[in-house]
């Protein structure tokens, strides 16, 4: 190869590698997973709607299902879209609304994200805060909730109960929420242990607490961190479960702080 041609070829590669934006082409399935999205209305900065749910990437095609928060037009919508290099486009079709998003992907800090512009139109649902409208969006892939749990339940009477256990996030099937399973072991709490029968959508977590017979004895709702290492929220104790202390009463409430190791 002519030296001048070789030099120019190498120079062009160097310039490409030093591009001035943070958009990065994604690998064949790096957009698959559980996503949290925030929509910022261009005409009213006080309106911030959310979407959460799962995407499946198959080559350049994207499918899935998300929950759109846009009262009173909120609902679950199917997702279809494409990704080419760092360019992504999505269409979401909950009942009565059509939402289109176009933007770019990024893998900064090894955590895939998306950002760009959106348009939302009413196709039958009236009275929502944001349609018709336009704005910007940002979306973050939420790391699966997998690993050992440590933390505490603190009652409204400020009594703290240590909790340990483990949680496993189910397979991503492109649905608006992904199942969670696992178990808790408590110290000094109303009942000594409980099984987790729950789900996660974006960063929103619900953990129904069940006894060994499957009867629901409580519920925890909270918010996960994007890196999947913490969940914070509140709990409601529904009363006696199998093996519960005789002094256990219903309607107990409090806050929850959980750390998840091994995500």
Q: Which tokens hold the place of 47?
A: 């309106």
Q: Which pLDDT score, from 0 to 100, does residue 241 have?
A: 55
Greater confidence, 75 or 243? 75
Strand (E) positions, the chain?
A: 33-41, 48-58, 61-69, 75-84, 87-93, 97-106, 113-122, 133-142, 147-155, 160-169, 178-187, 193-201, 204-210, 216-224, 230-237, 252-261
Q: Cα(79)–Cα(64) distance, rounded to whole angstroms?
A: 5
pTM of the model: 0.83
User: For the structural domain made of 147-261, what CATH number should be given?
Assistant: 2.40.128
Q: Please report, for the chain, the start and end positions of each structural domain, with discontinuous segments joined by +.
A: 22-142, 147-261
Whether the Cβ atoms of residue 223 and residue 253 lie closer than 8 Å to each other: no
CATH value of 22-142 in 1.10.390.10, 2.40.128.30, 3.90.930.12, 2.60.40.180: 2.40.128.30
Q: What is the mean pLDDT of residues 221-249?
A: 79
pLDDT of residue 172: 95
Question: pLDDT per residue over 60-75, tens digit each?
Answer: 999 999 998 877 778 8
User: Residue 244 in 3-state DSSP?
Assistant: coil
Same fold, 22-142 and 147-261: yes
Residue 9 confidence (pLDDT): 30
User: Cβ distance 75 to 98 under 8 Å?
Assistant: no
| Closest residue by Cα to residue 117 from 129, 130, 103, 105 | 103
pLDDT of 156 reads 85
Asked if the model's pLDDT at residue 143 lies above 60, the reply is: yes
């Amino acid at each position: 190869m002519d030296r001048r041609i070789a030099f120019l070829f190498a120079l062009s590669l160097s310039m490409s590698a030093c591009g001035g934006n943070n958009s990065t082409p994604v690998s064949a399935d790096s957009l698959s997973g559980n996503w949290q999205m925030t929509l910022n209305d261009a005409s009213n900065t006080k309106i911030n709607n959310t979407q959460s749910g799962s995407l499946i990437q198959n080559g350049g095609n994207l499918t899935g299902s998300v929950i759109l928060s846009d009262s009173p037009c909120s609902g679950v919508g199917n997702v279809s879209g494409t990704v080419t290099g760092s360019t992504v486009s999505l269409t979401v079709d909950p009942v009565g609304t059509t939402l289109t998003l176009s933007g770019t992907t990024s893998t900064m800090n090894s955590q895939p994200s998306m950002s760009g512009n959106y348009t939302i139109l009413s196709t039958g649902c009236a009275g929502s805060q944001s349609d018709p409208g336009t704005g910007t969006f940002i979306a973050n892939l939420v790391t699966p909730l997998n690993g050992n749990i440590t933390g505490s339940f603190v009652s409204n009477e400020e009594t703290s109960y240590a909790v340990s256990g483990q949680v496993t996030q189910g397979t991503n099937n492109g649905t608006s929420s992904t199942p969670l399973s696992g178990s808790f072991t408590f110290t000094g709490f109303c009942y000594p242990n409980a099984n987790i029968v729950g789900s996660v959508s974006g960063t929103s977590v619900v953990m129904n607490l069940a006894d060994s017979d499957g009867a629901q004895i409580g519920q925890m709702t909270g918010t996960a961190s994007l890196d999947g290492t913490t969940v914070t929220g509140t709990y409601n104790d529904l009363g006696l479960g199998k093996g519960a202390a005789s002094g256990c009463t219903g309607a107990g409430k409090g806050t929850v702080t959980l750390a998840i190791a091994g995500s």
